[in-house]
Every structure is written in structure tokens, then in C-alpha cells.
Structure 1
Amino acid sequence: MRAVEPVAAGERGLPSSLSPDDFKALFRGHPAGVAVITADAGSGPVALTATSVSSVSAEPPLLIFSISTLSSAADVLSRAETVIVHLLDAHDLEVAKLGATSGIDRFADKTQWSRLVTGEPVYCDVRAWVRCAVVNRMDAGTSMVIAAHALQSHIARDVSPGAAGDALVHHNRAWHRLGEHSRVDD
């Protein structure tokens, strides 16, 4: 397989790209699951809310997510060897909002989080979390894509196959709960 070199818009006769506003408008209508990523590279814990978490492979268990390089957590996430990916449901809305709010200490309330024996910060009582080893990072525009290998997980509220659960999604700049009421197929 031949590697494909990135091509800037306008090169080789390609049309110019969408504007940032047009691109954001496109994805506002595409709902995404909500996660909070935490890490500590030795200078204190960081957290951020992400809607870009995706499973990549079951063998080996790999996932990816992206973060803005402008995020206050970007420096730590660019150096951390491990991360915790918290996969949230609607019961975890306050944790999602905490990770999405800038300019605050996301770890001020010591009753909301603890550290694993391996040292990573983990929020308590969330639907599920997975401890991951970072295996690769890639610059992508104004973002960084991080690939991570799942090492350990905890599921506090499982969802049976085919059940609606209480999934938390972000759609059109708002939080939404998926449930039986939002199911459209039989």
C-alpha cells in the first residue's frame, strides 16, 4: 500500500476548502457521544470534554480522539503516557459540563474524583471509564489526534445489547439524552 501525502487545498487542481464556519455548521447537525478525557503528566491533572472518541480496533483494543491544540489541557495531553477516557451517559451531565467549562479548576471538588493506583485522575460514579496507554499522536490542523491502547476499564452502568440506555450526546450546541423515547426503528 502506498502512503498518501497530504495535499493543501488549491494544489493539483483541488478546489478550495470549506470555511471554518461552514465546516462547523456541517458538524453541528451530526450528533456525537460525550466523553471526558483526564491525564496527568506530572504537573497536575487536566480534563476536557470531547465528542471525538471512537473505537478503532477490538484486537488490539484501540481508540482515538482529537483535541484542540488551543485547549488548556493540550500541553499535558501532548506529554502524558496514559489517559483516562470517561464514556458518559445523561447521569454524568455535570461532569461533561465541568470538562467543557474553561477557566475553572476541574479538580477543585475532591469528592468528584480520585486517582487510580497507577496515578491517573478518574472521575467517580461515571457510566464507564477506560485507562489507556497513548500509542501515537498526530497533528491535524489546529487539533491533535491521539491513538490509545485500552489497558483497564470499569463499567458502573452497563447497557444491554439493543437497549436504549441513557446515552449523552451533543447535537447542535446542546446536550441531549437518548432513550427509548428517541428510538426510531422497531
Structure 2
Amino acid sequence: MPVHDLPAAEEPDDVVHAGTLLPHPTAKYLSADEFKAAFRNHPAGVAVITADAGDGPVALTATSVFSVSAEPPLLVFSISDLSSSTPTIRKADTVVVHLLGAGQLDIAKLGATSGIDRFADTSIWTRLPTGEPYFPAAHAWIRGRIVNKMEAGNSTVVAVEALEAKAPAAGDPAADAAEAQPLVYHNRTWHRLSEDSKIS
């Protein structure tokens, strides 16, 4: 029986009506600290997102990037309202998502440090022919067009259609180099994934 046909007393705690998630009236929400603690042991890959909406380049480090579709090629990430880069990314038509290896920890830290000019060192960044700022040292990057934005709490979820990508090909020494080992953020610390981390 469809959810909307159930008697009210039999509805589950979270009921979808007209595309909106409605919390049960007696639901108890986690505190921010409880929510963070639940995710503390959940590692995430590290990316740096860059954009320029006409007011100068911005960059931020994100652990929320994930792919959602291969055909069409779509990825999603979230940006906090507290980030100084968020207004520019919201206005931008395109972004570059850098998927970082352990050898690019300096770029990850750069994007994660507030109150600095992240583009002061002109030797580590340039622009693509299409105008977007990017870091050539990144293990892989994807240029994409923003196709959707959704406000969620104190963040914005951004959906991006991939237009262009650059990554070392299989068998390329750059793909196997130690600096290409994935950079992961776990329990408030940077980590490198390597052959030693395999368990099967």
C-alpha cells in the first residue's frame, strides 16, 4: 500500500509528501557534536574546488565530493555557508574539482586555511583555456558545469555535469607514483592510502 494511503497512525517516522521529507512530530534531532561523532570514523577522499565568477578566483577543500552518475557524468559536493568561497561558487557557471593524491597535501591545506590569499603563489596555479583557475599538480581534475543547487541546512549541495577531465592513464608512471596514493581525511587527520592499507 502506498505511504500516502496509510492511516496516520501507521505512517513511518519519516513520510514523503509531495517530494518533501517531513520529520515525525516526536523525532529527536542529534546535536551537531553527536552528528560529527557519528561520522568521525568514516573516511573521505579529499578534493579542492576552484571557481571564478568574475570577481577573482576562489578555492576550498571539500570531503563531500562523490560521483552520482556516469551517463550523464555527474558529481555532487556540498559547500558551507560559512566559507568565504561559497558566494563565488554559487554564482559561477563552472567549477574545477581537483581529486587529490597524498602528494598534493599542500594544496589540500591551502584550500582549508581561512584568512589567506590562496592564489598568492602564482607558481602553483594557472587557468584553463576556458578561464577557470586550477592547480596543475593535482592528481586528477574535472571541469564541470553547475546544473543544480539545493540549500540544505547551513550548506548548499551543488550538482555538476562533467565536461572535461584529466587524470593519469593506467600504466602511466604518474598513476603509480607514491604521490598519487589517495589522500583521505579521517578523524580530523590527513591520511595516505597505500598497498599497506589493503586488507583483502
Assess same fold via TM > 0.5.
yes
Structure 1 match to 2:153: 141
1:158 equivalenced with 2:170 (yes/no): no
1:29 paired residue among 41, 66, 83 = 41
> Shift of the alpha carbon at 1:4?
2.8
Structure 2 match to 1:183: 198
In the alignment, the residues of structure 2 paired with residue 95 and residue 33 of structure 1 have an alpha-carbon distance, to the nearest angstrom, of 14
> Shift of the alpha carbon at 1:3?
4.2
In the alignment, the residues of structure 1 paired with residue 18 and residue 102 of structure 2 have an alpha-carbon distance, to the nearest angstrom, of 41
> Shift of the alpha carbon at 1:14?
4.1
In the alignment, the residues of structure 2 paired with residue 35 and residue 158 of structure 1 have an alpha-carbon distance, to the nearest angstrom, of 17
Structure 2 match to 1:77: 89
Q: Provide, for residues 72-120 of structure 1, a one-character-per-residue CA deviation record: whole Å limited to 9, x for no partner.
A: 0010011000000000010010000000000000000000000011110
- Secondary structure of the residue aligned to 1:96 is helix
Aligned residues between the structures: 177
2:79 paired residue among 67, 70, 83 = 67
TM-score (norm 2): 0.85
1:168 paired residue among 174, 183, 189 = 183
In the alignment, the residues of structure 2 paired with residue 14 and residue 93 of structure 1 have an alpha-carbon distance, to the nearest angstrom, of 44
- Provide structure 2 residue ranges, at least 5 long, that are not aligned to the other structure: 3-16, 169-173
CA RMSD of aligned residues (A): 1.5
Structure 1 match to 2:5: none
1:118 equivalenced with 2:130 (yes/no): yes
In the alignment, the residues of structure 2 paired with residue 79 and residue 145 of structure 1 have an alpha-carbon distance, to the nearest angstrom, of 14
TM-score (norm 1): 0.91
- Secondary structure of the residue aligned to 2:22 is coil
